[in-house]
């Protein structure tokens, strides 16, 4: 049995890197000592070295448009630099120690000596390295479309309609049809009246009375649609009639910029960082006055208000927990999962008078979210250590990849749990609990 770089054990003919095997190969390497923060490998450096973390940990990163992005955190008993060792091409990543570390280095001369002195050991070692490379490439292939993979790893969510199905003729005689068609026609008549009144109004803004009228129409329609969904739950015509209702009201909703983005999901998944920014900003945009009113209604729904409330709640909790640790002289290590724009974190840091005692790792599967956060949100004065990591935390929760995150004091996510099935959420909670440092929890 061999444990690969993603944490799985599987049947294999390859040797396992246990203590006895490590002691057999270690004489063919030399140890280097690196202090925390010291560069181990610099991007662009040509290398024919193979590295093994004997003690400590290293961080693999690269820079995207001035934003430093962490792609891996490698702990003890792991190799890195395998591909560069074989092909000799310049490194494309920066690697630095995240704590005081001992790194074993295998160079070409040492490997040739191993081959000559102990060919069997050499063959076993090469087989082990081959499996390490295969494990990493398997992960790359599985996430060749990272946002698609991320979206697929989330729960399916609510029903969506991609096309309207022709309604069977015998459906038009049913009470379900009359109920849904009246609901839709009443909605369209109400919005026609609102549109006409808005057209007659010469002011550039939106009259509060018409805005109130639109909200009342939308609230009533939303409630009635929920009731209709329950009514149709066991009906053979459910898909046809709900699809019809969706098709008829679709043009009205698409006047709202927020509703448009929520439906089309240009980043490939629901609730992307710019959608969150729209909710936080709460400044309606849309096609014409009616579009702005629709956008305003979307941004004032209970879900949108909850997102803004959650931002405030998380900022307050971070301040309470971190201040307690700071008073006791402890640095607080924070891990923000599926971080998005991380507004709550930087809201906290903007008013924090001990920010030099805060270390935060912000992880998201969307690289653009990390770039945006660094360039647009991480612009307030603070002295915290902020790192951005590009990876899929759902796959991490399910044990399909490993990172040496080390002990964390606070692990949180602003919205990821909204999308997860119970099984995945439980796995995420358990994985987070494993990484919590509980030594000082008594004074929290």
Q: What is the DSSP string of 317-373?
A: HHHHHHHHHHHTT--EEEEEET-TT-HHHHHHHHT-TTGGGEEEEEEES-HHHHHHI
Sorted by sequence, the CB contacts under 8 Å of residue 326 that are 6+ apart come out as 332, 354, 357
Taking each helix axis from N to C end, the angle separating 257-264 and 288-299, rounded to the nearest 10 degrees, works out to 70
- Which of 287, 388, 396 has the alpha carbon at shortest distance from 340? 388
- Which of 404, 405, 355 has the alpha carbon at shortest distance from 381? 355
Instruction: Quote the pLDDT of residue 59.
Output: 93
Instruction: Quote the pLDDT of residue 151.
Output: 65
The answer as to CATH 3.40.50.1820 being correct for domain 318-443 is: no
Chain CA centroid to CA 151, Å: 10
Do the domains spanning 2-142 and 318-443 agree at the CATH topology level?
A: no
- Which of 54, 51, 57 has the alpha carbon at shortest distance from 74? 57
Sorted by sequence, the CB contacts under 8 Å of residue 414 that are 6+ apart come out as 310, 311, 314, 336, 338, 339, 340, 344
Q: Domain locations in the chain?
A: 2-142, 169-300, 318-443
Instruction: Quote the pLDDT of residue 346.
Output: 98
Strand 67-74 with 385-390, pairing: parallel
pTM of the complete model: 0.81
- The residue ranges of the chain whose pLDDT is under 50 are 1-14, 157-158
Q: Residues 102-111: pLDDT tens digits?
A: 999 998 899 9
Indicate the CATH number for domain 2-142.
2.60.120.10
Q: Residues 107-145: pLDDT tens digits?
A: 889 999 999 999 999 999 998 888 888 877 776 666 555
Sorted by sequence, the CB contacts under 8 Å of residue 23 that are 6+ apart come out as none
C-alpha span between 63 and 146 (Å, rounded) = 18
């Amino acid at each position: 049995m061999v444990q690969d770089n993603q944490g799985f054990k599987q049947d294999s003919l390859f040797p396992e890197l246990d203590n006895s095997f490590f002691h057999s190969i270690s004489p063919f390497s030399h140890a280097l000592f690196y202090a925390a923060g010291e560069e181990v490998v610099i991007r662009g450096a040509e290398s024919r070295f193979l590295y093994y973390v004997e003690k400590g940990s290293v961080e693999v990163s690269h820079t995207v448009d001035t934003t430093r992005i962490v792609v891996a955190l490698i702990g003890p008993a792991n190799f890195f630099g395998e591909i560069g060792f074989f092909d000799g091409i310049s490194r494309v990543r920066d690697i630095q120690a995240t704590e005081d570390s001992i790194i074993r280095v295998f160079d070409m001369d040492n490997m040739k000596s191993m081959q000559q002195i102990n060919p069997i050991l050499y063959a076993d070692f090469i087989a082990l390295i081959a499996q390490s490379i295969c494990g990493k490439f398997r992960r790359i292939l599985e996430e060749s479309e990272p946002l698609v993979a991320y979206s697929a790893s989330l729960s399916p969510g609510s029903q969506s309609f991609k096309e309207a199905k022709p309604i069977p003729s015998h459906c038009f005689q049913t009470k379900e049809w009359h109920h849904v068609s009246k609901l839709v026609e009443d909605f369209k008549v109400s919005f026609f009246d609102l549109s006409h009144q808005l057209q007659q109004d010469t002011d550039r803004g939106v009259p509060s009375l018409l805005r109130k009228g639109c909200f009342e129409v939308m609230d009533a329609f939303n409630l009635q649609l929920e009731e209709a969904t329950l009514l149709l739950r066991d009906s053979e015509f459910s898909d046809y009639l709900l699809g019809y209702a969706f098709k008829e009201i679709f043009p009205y909703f698409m006047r709202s910029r927020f509703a448009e983005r929520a439906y089309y999901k240009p980043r490939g998944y629901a609730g992307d960082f710019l959608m969150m920014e729209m909710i936080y900003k709460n400044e309606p945009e849309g096609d014409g006055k009616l579009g702005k009113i629709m956008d305003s209604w979307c941004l004032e729904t209970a879900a949108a208000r909850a997102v803004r409330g959650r931002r405030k709640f998380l900022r307050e909790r971070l301040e309470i927990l971190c201040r307690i640790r700071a008073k006791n002289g402890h640095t607080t290590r924070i891990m923000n999962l599926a971080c998005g724009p991380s507004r709550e974190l930087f809201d906290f840091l903007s008013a924090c008078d001990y920010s030099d005692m805060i270390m935060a790792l912000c992880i998201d599967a969307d690289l653009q979210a990390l770039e945006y956060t660094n360039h647009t949100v991480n612009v307030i004065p603070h002295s915290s250590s902020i790192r951005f990591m590009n990876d899929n935390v759902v796959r991490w929760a399910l044990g399909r990849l490993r990172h040496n995150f080390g002990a964390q004091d606070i692990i949180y996510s602003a919205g990821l749990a909204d999308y997860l099935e119970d099984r995945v959420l439980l796995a995420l909670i358990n994985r987070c609990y494993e990484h919590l440092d509980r030594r000082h929890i008594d004074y929290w």
